Homo-oligomer: A and B are copies of this chain.
Amino acid sequence: MRNRLEEIRKERGIKQEELAAALEVSRQTIGSLENGRYNPSILLAFKIARYFGMKIEDIFIYEEEQG
């Protein structure tokens, strides 16, 4: 799965730390999502989508996973 988090965050001129605070997660969590180290839980995905006023599918792009 890939995501457009960094792109969308930068469009809005927001720092990782600000986004993290707004979502009540750590800065490292945001960085890890942006750099693809892991996927968000569905709850965090909902929080992110709601924060940006978008749908989950507009931010997180499901592609056939390996396996």
Contact = CB atoms under 8 A, between A and B. Distances in A.
Contact of A42 (B40, B50, B55): B40
Interface residues of A, number: 15
Contacts of A46: 1, 60, 62
Interface of A: 1, 39-43, 45-46, 50, 55-57, 60, 62, 65
Copy tally for this chain in the complex stands at 2
A53 to B, nearest CB: 13
A29 to B, nearest CB: 14
Nearest to A60: B42
A18 B59 CA distance: 30
Nearest to A63: B46
